[in-house]
Protein backbone atom coordinates (compact mmCIF):
# COMPACT_ATOMS: atom_id res chain seq x y z
CA UNK A 1 0.00 0.00 0.00
CA UNK A 2 2.84 2.42 0.84
CA UNK A 3 4.37 2.11 -2.62
CA UNK A 4 0.99 2.57 -4.31
CA UNK A 5 0.29 5.76 -2.33
CA UNK A 6 3.72 7.15 -3.24
CA UNK A 7 3.13 6.43 -6.92
CA UNK A 8 -0.26 8.14 -6.79
CA UNK A 9 1.57 11.33 -5.68
CA UNK A 10 -1.38 13.07 -4.04
CA UNK A 11 -0.12 14.82 -0.92
CA UNK A 12 -3.48 14.77 0.90
CA UNK A 13 -3.80 11.03 0.28
CA UNK A 14 -0.25 10.44 1.52
CA UNK A 15 -1.00 12.36 4.72
CA UNK A 16 -4.25 10.49 5.40
CA UNK A 17 -2.85 7.04 4.66
CA UNK A 18 0.34 7.74 6.59
CA UNK A 19 -1.62 8.93 9.62
CA UNK A 20 -3.85 5.83 9.60
CA UNK A 21 -1.03 3.37 8.94
CA UNK A 22 1.07 4.89 11.73
CA UNK A 23 -1.65 3.94 14.20
CA UNK A 24 -1.57 0.29 13.08
CA UNK A 25 2.14 -0.33 12.45
CA UNK A 26 2.38 -3.40 14.66
CA UNK A 27 -0.88 -4.95 13.51
CA UNK A 28 -0.12 -4.34 9.83
CA UNK A 29 3.65 -4.95 10.17
CA UNK A 30 4.70 -1.59 8.72
CA UNK A 31 8.24 -0.46 9.45
CA UNK A 32 9.34 2.99 10.53
CA UNK A 33 11.36 3.15 7.29
CA UNK A 34 8.17 2.64 5.29
CA UNK A 35 6.48 5.49 7.14
CA UNK A 36 9.52 7.73 6.70
CA UNK A 37 9.49 7.05 2.97
CA UNK A 38 6.15 8.90 2.78
CA UNK A 39 7.52 12.15 4.25
CA UNK A 40 8.78 13.67 0.96
CA UNK A 41 5.26 13.36 -0.48
CA UNK A 42 3.41 15.16 2.33
CA UNK A 43 1.43 18.33 1.62
CA UNK A 44 3.26 21.64 2.03
CA UNK A 45 0.27 23.19 3.82
CA UNK A 46 -2.12 21.45 6.24
CA UNK A 47 -5.07 19.54 4.80
CA UNK A 48 -8.28 18.34 6.39
CA UNK A 49 -8.92 14.66 6.95
CA UNK A 50 -12.42 15.16 5.53
CA UNK A 51 -14.19 18.10 3.93
CA UNK A 52 -16.07 20.29 6.33
CA UNK A 53 -14.30 18.89 9.37
CA UNK A 54 -11.73 20.86 11.29
CA UNK A 55 -9.91 19.44 14.24
CA UNK A 56 -6.48 19.40 15.76
CA UNK A 57 -3.44 19.72 13.52
CA UNK A 58 -1.11 16.74 13.50
CA UNK A 59 2.08 18.55 12.52
CA UNK A 60 3.90 15.33 11.73
CA UNK A 61 1.46 14.54 8.90
CA UNK A 62 0.34 18.14 8.21
CA UNK A 63 -3.23 16.92 8.65
CA UNK A 64 -6.23 18.24 10.60
CA UNK A 65 -7.67 15.31 12.55
CA UNK A 66 -11.35 15.48 13.55
CA UNK A 67 -12.10 15.24 17.25
CA UNK A 68 -12.52 11.62 18.32
CA UNK A 69 -10.58 10.18 15.37
CA UNK A 70 -7.25 9.89 17.16
CA UNK A 71 -7.95 6.48 18.65
CA UNK A 72 -6.04 3.51 17.36
19-49 pLDDT tens trace: 999 999 999 999 999 999 999 999 999 999 9
On whether residue 52 sits in a domain, the answer given is yes
Helix (H, G, I), strand (E, B) or coil at 67: coil
- The HSE-up count of residue 51 (CA atoms within 13 Å, CB side) is 0
On whether residue 71 sits in a domain, the answer given is no
Residue 40 belongs to domain spanning: 2-65
Indicate the number of domains in the chain: 1
The pTM score is: 0.88
Rounded Cα–Cα distance for residues 19 and 56 (Å):
13
pLDDT at 54: 80
On whether residue 70 sits in a domain, the answer given is no
Quick one: average pLDDT of 39-63? 94
Amino acid sequence: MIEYVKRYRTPSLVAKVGWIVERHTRKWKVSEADLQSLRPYLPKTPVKFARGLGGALDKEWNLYIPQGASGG
